[in-house]
Each structure stands twice: as C-alpha cells, then as structure tokens.
Amino acid sequence: MSLFYQIVFVILAAEMALFTLLIAPLPLSLKRQFLIWMSKSPVIAQAKQWLKIVFVYVFIMFLDSLNRTMRKEDANPTDHHHDPYHRARLFYDQRNLYLTGAVLFLSLLLNRFFSMITELVTNESKAEVLKQQAAKQSKEYMRLLDKEQDREKEIADLKKELEEAKKQIREVEIVKKQAKQTHDEYMRLTDRYVELERKLGGSDDARKSR
C-alpha cells in the first residue's frame, strides 16, 4: 500500500473512531461538552479546512481507482485470465476503490450526523435556558401574585376599617343628636321652670299686697 493510501486508511480509521465516539452511550453532559468543544474550537475549524482539501484529493483518488478498475474489468478476460500480475493489480485497484469510497461516504455521513447532533444539543441548551427563564418568570409571577393578593387583602382590611369608622361616626352623630335633643329639652324645661317660678312669685306678691 502506497503512502497516500496509508493516509487514506488512517483517515478512515479516525472517522470510524469518531463515529463510534459519537454513538457511544456516554453521559449526556460529557457528550454535550465534547460537541460544544468541537463546534467552537478554532483548532477543529482549521482542521476542517485542511480536511476539505484532503477529501478533494481522496475524491480524485477514488475516480482514478474507479477508472483503473473499470478498464481492467473491461479488458479481454481471456488475455489476463491466468495473469497473476493483472489479477493482483485488479485486486489493488478494487481495494483502493472501496477504501476511498468508504472514506468519502463515511465523511458525508459523519458530517451530517455531527451537524444533527450539534443542532440537537444546541436546541437542548436553548430549551434549558428557556426553561430556566420560564421558571424565573413563574417565580416572579407568583411573587407578584402574592404581592397583589397581599395588597388586595390590605385594601379589604382598609375598607373594613373604613366601614367601622363610618359606623362609629354614625353612632357619634346619633349620640350627638340625642345629646342635642336632651339639651334642648333640658333648656325648655329650665325655661318652663323659670316661668313657673315667676308666676308663683307674682301671685305671692299680690297676696301680700292685699
């Protein structure tokens, strides 16, 4: 195997290891931290740029292996039926074709799978943030509701005190009215008494003059 195909095989092994790591039943928090690190790391972003160039070369190698395989398979089988060199070259070309094709296919699958998991983790993080915000808003709403209920209770107490004060004022007005009536009656009786005293005093004086 040439150096280029050894590199392709290393890339295939790395893709398989990464795919296994993504589907492994790891703790959700650990997997989330790993995905967030991969999506935000500048090293990974730079590595992706280099991998794009590498995959272009892998695609060229795939086309070359496909062309070689098709040409050898289209050749006259009677000419190379007992030729071990031809059969070995066909085997190597087919191996390279499968190797490069597996790398390209797994790279597309891994890229899509990684995007879906990253989007899922991002949505879960947003959902947790929204859940926390909703919990805070719910607590704030309950606090305001309790405060509003306390205020309504305070208003009800003040209304009750106001009614009691009005009732006391009415009672005081009644007492004042009764006191005024008693005072007026007392003054009337006093005047009547004085008038009777005067009449009695005048009659006594008239008797003495006789």
Question: Is 12 part of a structural domain of the chain?
Answer: yes
Question: Is 131 part of a structural domain of the chain?
Answer: yes
Domain that holds residue 48: 3-153
Question: Is 53 part of a structural domain of the chain?
Answer: yes
Question: Is 43 part of a structural domain of the chain?
Answer: yes
pLDDT one-digit tens code per residue, 100-155: 889 889 888 888 888 887 787 778 778 888 888 888 888 888 888 888 888 888 88
pLDDT one-digit tens code per residue, 19-75: 888 777 777 777 777 777 777 778 877 877 888 888 888 889 888 888 888 887 665
pTM: 0.54
Q: For residue 124, which of 19, 20, 22, 33 has the smallest C-alpha distance?
A: 33
Residue 97: pLDDT over 60? yes
Structure tokens at 11: 């890339």
Question: Is 21 part of a structural domain of the chain?
Answer: yes
- Map tokens 């272009």 to a residue: 56
Per DSSP, 75 falls in state S
Question: Is 204 part of a structural domain of the chain?
Answer: no
Task: Give yes or no for a contact between 99 and 4, defined as CB atoms under 8 angstroms apart.
Answer: no
**Into how many domains does the chain fold?**
1
CA-to-CA distance for 70 and 75, rounded, in angstroms?
Answer: 9
The pLDDT assigned to 79 comes to 54
Question: Is 198 part of a structural domain of the chain?
Answer: no
Question: Is 111 part of a structural domain of the chain?
Answer: yes
